[in-house]
Amino acid sequence: MPRKLRPDMDAVTLTVVGDEIEAEALCGLLRTHGIACTYRRTNFSAGASDGFGITDPTEVLVHAHDVAQARKLLPQH
């Protein structure tokens, strides 16, 4: 069972993806490997949003101590 991620603690940005759907898919992959994950719209998209937020750039966050392992799981583009 993955540890619960508290963004106010030691969460760091792993990557920025195109939208919330992509972020949820990536977090699902990370969670299956025991890495706690969450996501949020980027500061830029929060101010430039049309109000819906689904297709805005989204930061994927993990614990600082999980970054190296999480990066190994990122899809190669």
In a domain, 6, yes or no: no
Query: Checking DSSP bridges between strand 37-41 and strand 58-63, what pairing results, if any?
Result: antiparallel
**C-alpha separations of 13 from 39, 45, 50, 68 in Å:** 9, 15, 23, 12
Structural domain harbouring 58: 11-73
Residues 6 or more apart whose CB falls under 8 angstroms from that of 55 comprise 18, 19, 20
pLDDT at 46: 52
Domain containing residue 21: CATH number: 3.30.70
Q: Write the pLDDT tens digit of every residue in 4-14.
A: 666 566 889 99
Contact 7, 40 (CB under 8 A): yes
pTM for this model (two decimals) = 0.76
In a domain, 45, yes or no: yes
Q: Report the domain count for the chain.
A: 1
Q: Write the pLDDT tens digit of every residue in 52-68.
A: 555 789 999 999 999 99
In a domain, 5, yes or no: no
In a domain, 39, yes or no: yes
Q: How far apart are CA 35 and CA 44, in angstroms?
A: 26
In a domain, 33, yes or no: yes
Q: 66 — phi, psi (to 5°)?
A: -105, 0
